[in-house]
């Protein structure tokens, strides 16, 4: 192999030249620098020659991503692959052709799981293809799968598991075990990348006639992340709901000054919070211990107060903790709920209960503090859809957050991050946070394309950002907003702004659904159905359809309404309307940001 080493030498200066010592030293340095530059240039030429002489092995990485994390991991793998002599194409599953994919000798799959075990939106069409009877053989492919998920949801990492099983069934050879990652995915994902790249680089031939589409341009990566968050000053905090409302939603503004950070409308901001003092004290009391007691945690000795306040998720019980509770308590009901494959009954039972509630319910389970720590998950940052456009609010990022508060079993319950921001954070505080890009949930590149936005409650957040973006970029496409909340008097979030957007014509259409203004509930999907003809006409002329907000009921019901509208207005069978929706998804014209 042509190994070009750096053989830079300081040029030799004749002793009889007419310069004094200092001048000679300077000149020596100058010439050395020049020589180095020339060498670097030569090396560049040699390296290029080496690159063409020793062909890099092609590697294809496909990703299925709902919120941008899987795409970010795929991008990281691409960067690291160069060190292994691999040349990489990162492909959105929606842009991947199955027949071409089957020709790839080296294939890595990175996919998240959406909702309760579903494929992410950009993965559904390719998954339908590969899971069909007519799928091609993958027996010439080496592969590995990285699955992203959240153990708090049913169907943890299901999408990745299905891809792994299917590729193996089609004859592909697994070169590294699948890794299933929980929300703190960075470390295991990096380990998987290292192992998978090192192993796959040893497999297969050097060049293969793979026809893979070119990688997209990558945005500049932020230097801030979970381990190294940005400290952003909270500059504005105000309620969006009226004091007599049945709920509380707040608006927050953070300064990005001097951080050099930027984001796109549609991205999310992850806020790093701490656990509430009363919750920490409840737990300490339950274990009959003091916050000053020191316990080992990942090689460090930390006080329990620190561990419970800053490090562990102590509000939502982990799946491992619940399973161990069932085992140790011997409680028949809990055991049967945990063992039931249908998780609905367990979810109903857990609804509204926090870790302290559960530990109190089964005192016979008896955990030591160390056991409890081992069974708990790290406190994850909470992701919120950004509600501002940086083009409109220079060096700022805004959030729209609904506060979670309720009383159950005689205990007040408080959402970790929403009430950290509402009750603890004050203007002037520095809040730790970092961005998550969401490239598919963004304002259409075509500024003339119509947008239909369905965002009840806090689902309004990214659409405020989209609309601000459209003003800032002078985009001329039509905009239709469906917004709803409980009561018009108290819960019309951003009312003034939205009404101004309507009166200036930025909002071509605005349809409101205040569910509790009348005895019968009226929801955003009812407004969609009332306007079915026009909505379908918008889709037919290329409109993008966006949903943001509650995943459990709202997003599913809005999806049903959309299918119904396409079926009825397009005169299509239910299968044909499904195909219509699949095409919208494939064209990135039907995108969801739901939680």
Q: Print the SS3 string covering 40-105.
A: HHHHHHHHHHHHHHCCCEEEEEEEECCCCHHHHHHHHHHHHHHHHCEEEEEEEHHHCCHHHHHCCC
Total number of residues that touch ligand NAP (CB under 6 A): 28
- For residue 256, the minimal CB distance to ligand NAP (Å) is 19
Is 457 one of the binding residues for ligand NAP (CB under 6 A)? yes
DSSP 398-454: EEEEE--EEEETTEEEE-HHHHIIIII--TT-EEEEEEE--TTSS--SSTTS-EEEE
Is 455 one of the binding residues for ligand NAP (CB under 6 A)? no
Is 557 one of the binding residues for ligand NAP (CB under 6 A)? yes
Is 456 one of the binding residues for ligand NAP (CB under 6 A)? yes
Q: How many CB atoms lie within 10 A of CB 474?
A: 7
Enumerate residues 470-489 that contact ligand NAP by CB under 6 A. 484-486
Q: Which is nearer to ligand NAP, 523 or 538 (CB)?
A: 523
Q: In the set 68, 204, 266, 549, which binds ligand NAP (CB under 6 A)? A: 549
SS3 category, 251: strand
Is 553 one of the binding residues for ligand NAP (CB under 6 A)? yes
**Which range touches ligand NAP (CB under 6 A), out of 109-117, 210-218, 287-295, 552-560?**
552-560
Is the four-CA dihedral 460, 462, 467, 472 of positive or negative sign?
Answer: positive
Is 404 one of the binding residues for ligand NAP (CB under 6 A)? yes
Is the four-CA dihedral 489, 382, 471, 467 of positive or negative sign?
Answer: negative
Residue 179 Cα to chain centre, angstroms: 18
Residues 556 and 579: their CA atoms lie apart, in Å, by 17
Q: Which is nearer to ligand NAP, 24 or 405 (CB)?
A: 405
Q: Which is nearer to ligand NAP, 231 or 246 (CB)?
A: 246
Residues 62 and 64: their CA atoms lie apart, in Å, by 7
Is 554 one of the binding residues for ligand NAP (CB under 6 A)? yes
- Residue showing the smallest CB distance to ligand NAP in the complex: 457
Is 465 one of the binding residues for ligand NAP (CB under 6 A)? no
Enumerate residues 249-308 that contact ligand NAP by CB under 6 A. 249
Residues 151 and 163: their CA atoms lie apart, in Å, by 18
Enumerate residues 407-436 that contact ligand NAP by CB under 6 A. 415
- For residue 385, the minimal CB distance to ligand NAP (Å) is 6
* Helix ranges restricted to H, 201-307: 277-286, 304-306
Q: Are the C-beta atoms of residues 315 and 412 closer than 8 Å to each other?
A: no
Enumerate residues 221-250 that contact ligand NAP by CB under 6 A. 247, 249
Is 595 one of the binding residues for ligand NAP (CB under 6 A)? yes
SS3 category, 303: strand
Is 458 one of the binding residues for ligand NAP (CB under 6 A)? yes
Is 522 one of the binding residues for ligand NAP (CB under 6 A)? no
Q: Can you give the binding site for ligand NAP, defined by CB under 6 A?
A: 247, 249, 384, 400-402, 404, 415, 456-459, 461, 484-486, 515-516, 521, 523-525, 549-550, 553-554, 557, 595
């Amino acid at each position: 192999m042509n190994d070009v080493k750096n053989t830079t030498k300081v040029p030799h200066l004749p002793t009889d030249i007419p310069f004094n010592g200092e001048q000679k030293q300077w000149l020596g340095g100058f010439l050395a620098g020049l020589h180095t530059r020339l060498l670097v240039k030569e090396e560049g030429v040699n390296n290029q020659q080496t690159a063409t002489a020793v062909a890099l092995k092609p590697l294809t990485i496909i990703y299925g991503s709902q919120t941008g994390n899987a795409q970010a991991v795929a991008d990281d793998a691409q960067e690291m692959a160069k060190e292994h002599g691999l040349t990489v194409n990162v492909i959105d599953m929606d842009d991947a052709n199955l027949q071409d994919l089957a020709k790839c000798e080296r294939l890595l799959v990175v996919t998240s799981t959406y909702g309760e075990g579903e494929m992410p939106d950009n993965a559904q069409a390719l998954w339908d293809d590969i899971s069909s009877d007519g799928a091609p053989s993958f027996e010439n492919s080496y592969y590995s799968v990285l699955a992203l998920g959240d153990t708090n949801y049913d169907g943890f990492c299901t999408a990745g598991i299905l891809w792994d099983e299917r590729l193996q069934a089609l004859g592909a050879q697994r070169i590294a075990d699948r890794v299933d990652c929980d929300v703190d995915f960075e470390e295991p994902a990096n380990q998987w990348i290292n192992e998978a790249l090192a192993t796959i680089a040893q497999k297969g031939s050097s060049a293969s006639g793979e026809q893979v589409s070119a990688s997209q341009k990558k945005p500049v990566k932020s230097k801030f992340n979970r381990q190294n968050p940005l400290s952003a000053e909270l500059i504005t905090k105000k309620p969006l709901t009226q004091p007599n409302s049945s709920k509380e939603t707040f608006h927050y503004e953070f300064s990005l000054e001097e951080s050099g950070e930027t984001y796109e409308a549609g991205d999310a901001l992850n806020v790093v919070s701490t656990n509430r003092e009363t919750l920490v004290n409840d737990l300490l009391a339950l274990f009959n211990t003091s916050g000053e007691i020191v316990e080992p945690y990942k090689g460090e000795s930390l006080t329990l107060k620190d561990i419970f306040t800053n490090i562990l998720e102590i509000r939502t019980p982990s799946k491992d903790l619940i399973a161990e509770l069932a085992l140790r308590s011997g409680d028949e009901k809990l055991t049967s709920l945990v063992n039931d494959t249908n998780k609905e009954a367990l979810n109903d039972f857990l609804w509204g209960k926090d870790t302290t509630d559960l530990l109190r319910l089964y005192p016979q389970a008896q955990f030591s503090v160390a056991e409890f720590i081992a069974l708990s998950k790290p406190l994850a940052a909470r992701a919120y859809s950004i509600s501002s456009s940086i083009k409109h609010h220079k060096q700022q990022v805004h959030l729209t957050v609904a506060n979670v508060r309720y009383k159950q079993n005689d205990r007040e319950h408080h959402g970790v991050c929403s009430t950290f921001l509402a009750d603890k954070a004050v203007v002037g505080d520095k809040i730790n946070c970092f961005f998550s890009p969401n490239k598919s949930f963004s304002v259409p590149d075509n500024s003339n394309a119509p947008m239909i936005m369905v965002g009840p409650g806090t689902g309004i957040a990214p659409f405020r950002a989209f609309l601000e973006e459209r003003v800032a970029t002078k985009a001329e496409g039509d905009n239709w907003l469906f917004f709803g909340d409980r009561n018009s008097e108290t819960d019309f979030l951003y009312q003034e702004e939205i009404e101004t957007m309507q009166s200036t014509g930025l909002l071509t259409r605005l349809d409101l659904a205040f569910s509790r203004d009348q005895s019968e509930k009226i929801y955003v999907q009812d407004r969609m159905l009332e306007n079915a003809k026009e909505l379908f006409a918008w889709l037919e002329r290329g409109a993008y359809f966006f949903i943001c907000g509650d995943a459990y009921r709202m997003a599913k019901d809005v999806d049903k309404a959309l299918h119904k509208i396409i079926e009825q207005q397009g005169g299509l069978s239910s299968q044909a309307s499904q195909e219509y929706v699949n095409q919208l998804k494939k064209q990135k014209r039907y995108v969801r940001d739901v939680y």
